[in-house]
Amino acid sequence: MYFLILLAFFASPALAWLPLEDWGSGNVTGSVGESGQCICQVFLPDTTFPADRVESLQISSNKLTVDVELHISKLISFKGKVEILLQELSNLTIRLEVVESGPDKYIKLDFELLRIELREFEALVTELKTSLNSSSPAFDSLYNEIRNMSMIVDQLESYDRSNLEVIRIEFTKLQKKLEKCRDEQDDFSNVQIGSCQHKGILRVGKPVVSQLNANLGTGYIYGGWGKDSHPLPGTENRYWYSAATTTVVRYMSVYSDYYKLIMRQAMKTYDLLSPKNWQGTGNNYIIRANTFYYQYASPFSMAKFNITSQTAEYRAVSGASSRFSYHYHANQNLDFAADESGLWVTYATEASKGKLVLGKIDEAAFALSEVWETSIFKQSVTNAFMICGVLYATRSVDTKTEEIFYAYDTQTRQENYVSLPFEKFQDSYVSLDYNPTDQKLYMYNNGYYVSYNVKFKTA
């Protein structure tokens, strides 16, 4: 959505940047957040969904559908524009080469055309720069280079060969950079899905704020959302969501795809209190192989609710203490995670004096097969997740910034302090997890669905 919005700006340069175009009259509003994210909020006067208001909700929903489609079409149109831009640049380079090969033949007109086209190109990049809100260093330097090139053209009084050579070299460099920018926009991930042929996280992308939770309540700050990390065949597009106004874990909804999630049209909502009391707590659950893994409320243990069979069972985690939670909220004692290599749980023990312990879960046996002790104090950590057998832990930097500050490699048993800052949409959050099926991080940020792309170190 982040890119959708800035691209929409690009497609309609005449539009004002803030606020964004109407997301429907009435109580469906859209706006652009401080960091340029797209925020869509739907406010209903009453969250108990009285029957007489369902109709108006449906009208709002339809309006949203149309708007989402509109934005998707704008994204496609932006992609087309970048393609054309590259083609134009490539044409310019060719023309320069022609001019260069015959220094005696070229005429002043060619140079004038080049000057005009450079100006146009500069305007386009200025526009892109504005829509990116100066937040991309790549575009900043691109912008500077184009300005420099324009200046060079201006300064050219005698059209000699060496000047043209300079321009040609600059153009070629520019073209490469623009291509790089495009690649970053098209697909942030630089490693094949499922592959661990990388050296860990290079950086975390901008927060992509999908929207406010399906309960439409800003009080629903305890929750999570995401996709099954190892979906059963045919369920690859599904999303899940669960939240509450307390740390209790009771309802969990499944959506057939992203669109249904955004439209808040659940396929099914499961109730862990009825017919049997299988309630959980702590909100650091995940879904894997159509099974919901969560912290059981009582007795304190890890639990799994098999969505296929709709039955739950729980198992004590040896040594795990219910005394140590993450920094932001209480009850977050067991945190489930999944990566390319399977299912994991983190917790702290009295023996470890509250330091984070990582356990690998044997899914078939539903038991811990191996544990690793880290040297970080759980209460100073805001959350943790796994990628390719490496545990990453986060901490708070300030109200807008979070940082991955620690990595523990289970293969080498080596730990490292790192600094990989990333933007938060809201102050605090309860869940952050990586999903190996799309290499994204999913955060439930004070009631908002937020995701991040991850770029890996490849050399």
Q: Which of 131, 136, 211, 291 binds ligand NAG (CB under 6 A)?
A: 291
Residues 125, 214, 289, 390: which binds ligand NAG (CB under 6 A)?
A: 289
Q: Give exposure, 3-19, as e/b (b: 16+ Cβ within 10 Å).
A: bbbbbbbbbeeeeeeee
Rounded to whole angstroms, the Cα distance separating 344 from 331 reads: 18
Q: Quick one: 5 or 75, whose CB is closer to ligand NAG? A: 5
Q: Measured from the CB of residue 343, what is the shortest distance to ligand NAG in angstroms?
A: 10
Smallest gap from residue 325 Cβ to ligand NAG (A): 27
Structure tokens at 352: 């470890």
Instruction: State which residue has the least CB distance to ligand NAG.
Output: 26
CB of 152 vs ligand NAG, minimal distance in Å: 9
User: Considering only CA atoms, which of 379, 356, 252, 267 is closest in space to residue 304?
Assistant: 252
Site membership for ligand NAG, residue 309 (CB under 6 A): yes
Using CB under 6 A as the binding rule, whether residue 155 contacts ligand NAG is answered as no
Contact call for residue 399 and ligand NAG (CB under 6 A):
no
* 308 makes contact with ligand NAG (CB under 6 A): yes
Q: How many CB atoms lie within 10 A of CB 319?
A: 15
Q: How many other C-beta atoms are found inside a 10 Å radius of the C-beta of residue 70?
A: 14
- Distance, in Å, from the CA atom of 454 to the CA atom of 432, rounded to the nearest integer, reads 13
- For position 134 contacting ligand NAG by CB under 6 A, the verdict is yes
For ligand NAG, the closer of residues 49 and 411 by Cβ is 49
Q: Are strands 38-42 and 28-32 parallel, antiparallel or unpaired?
A: antiparallel
Q: Per residue, what are the HEC states of 18-68?
A: CCCCCCCCCCEEEEECCCCCEEEEECCCCCCCCHHHHHHHHHHHHHHHHHH
Secondary structure class of 426 (helix, strand, coil): coil
CB under 6 A: which stretch of 21-29, 64-72, 113-121, 435-443 binds ligand NAG?
21-29
Shortest Å distance, C-beta 304 to ligand NAG: 6
Report the residue number, 144 or 298, with the smaller CB distance to ligand NAG: 144
Residues 11 and 331: their CA atoms lie apart, in Å, by 47
Query: Measured from the CB of residue 411, what is the shortest distance to ligand NAG in angstroms?
Result: 25
Burial class (CB in 10 A: 0-12, 13-18, 19+), 318: exposed
133 touches ligand NAG (CB under 6 A): yes
Binding piece for ligand NAG, criterion CB under 6 A, among 138-146, 153-161, 240-248, 336-344: 138-146
Of the candidates 62, 65, 141, 414, which one interacts with ligand NAG according to CB under 6 A? 141
CB of 282 to ligand NAG, least distance (A): 20
Q: Which residues of this chain interact with ligand NAG, rule CB under 6 A?
A: 25-27, 34-35, 45, 84, 87-88, 91, 133-135, 141, 144-145, 148, 289, 291, 306, 308-309, 363
